[in-house]
Amino acid sequence: MTPSIDVVVPTFNGWDLTRSCLVRLREQTLSHVVVVADNASTDGTPERVRSEFPEVRIVELERNLGFPVACNRGAAAGDGEVVVLLNNDVECPPDFLERLVSPFADEGVGMVAGVLVRPGADEIDGVGLTADATLSGFARLAGRPVREAALGRPVVTGPSGGAAAYRRSAWESIGGLDERIFIYAEDLDLAFRLRAAGWQAAVAADAVAVHLGSVTMGLRSPWQRYQAGFSRGYLLRRYGVLRSSAAARALVTEAAVVVGDAVISRDLSAARGRLAGWRAARDLPRLPSPPSEAVDPGIGFRESLRLRRRAYSR
């Protein structure tokens, strides 16, 4: 039987994108509930949703509290068996939801990754996330032809929050996204915790949507690089990476990334973010490491640096 579905669309301004996203959700082949979780937009998003999309539920936050808070509040506003997170800059075809939730027929699957492609639909933007030995996450198969979306390697750690589906029972069992993170790597952390809890990750290789990408945040802005650094420093401490066998590699990698970012961007946003994230995790308990099958041993030191450079250049 087809599960009941709640689609959570977190928003912060960008009404044109949100409107396009909601129009496409109206055209889906499966019945579902849409929840727009608005992070205090200043462009009238909540009022416009009520006017043009009266069937959509609205969750209004008092200020911009970040991606995890918006998603968690949006998920809590529904009761569907599946929670789908969808960025407002994702354009999905009518059968997207139908294809995305199909892997939940396997009761061991707790999360499903869709396929995001770049504008033009010829190149993959990401098919979920993968992680290396230092628990650094990367978009799987980024830059590869769309025809390769079903490849089994690199390892699927979990879905990207831009187009992800979660079994609600799995989501609720671990408390959803970590709200200490404002944005970036919160989906990777969620995947780690779900995998550690015994849930499997799957890919819906035929659930393909276009990701416009980084149109609302400012690619490589100081704020963006600070937030990415915060998430990295926070997760390094939460998972005890610097106390693991991967400690030396993690230190060398992070040093290279921070120095490279400082040289290219001429500021210390990446370094300051990592330090702030490390401090934020100081009094929190260490989280269990994800199982070995959730980490790709084939992503060596050089490959991880190459993937970081590629992501940075995008």
pLDDT for position 312? 64
Output the six-digit token pair for 224. Answer: 């963006």
Amino acid at 163: A
Intervals of the chain under pLDDT 70: 214-219, 312-314
Topology of the domain comprising 5-211: Spore Coat Polysaccharide Biosynthesis Protein SpsA; Chain A (3.90.550)
User: Which pTM does this prediction carry?
Assistant: 0.94
How far apart (Å, rounded) are the C-alpha atoms in residues 38 and 10? 6
Q: What is the pLDDT of residues 229-250, one digit of tens each?
A: 999 999 999 999 999 999 999 9
Question: Hey, is 10 helix, strand or coil?
Answer: strand
Output the six-digit token pair for 279. Answer: 């401090």
Q: What is the pLDDT of residues 143-197, one digit of tens each?
A: 999 999 999 999 999 999 999 999 999 999 999 999 999 999 999 999 999 999 9
pLDDT for position 214? 47
| Matching residue, tokens 């802005």 | 221
Q: What is the largest CA-CA distance in the chain?
A: 55
Q: Which of 242, 247, 246, 228 is nearest to 137 (CA)?
A: 228
* DSSP letter (8 states) at residue 285: P
Output the six-digit token pair for 197. Answer: 């809890």
Q: Is the peptide bond before 154 cis (omega within 30 degrees of 0)?
A: yes
Residue ranges, comma separated, of all CATH 3.90.550.10 domains in the chain are 5-211
pLDDT for position 255? 95
Cβ atoms of 228 and 270 closer than 8 Å: yes
pLDDT for position 26? 98
* DSSP letter (8 states) at residue 127: S
pLDDT for position 213? 76
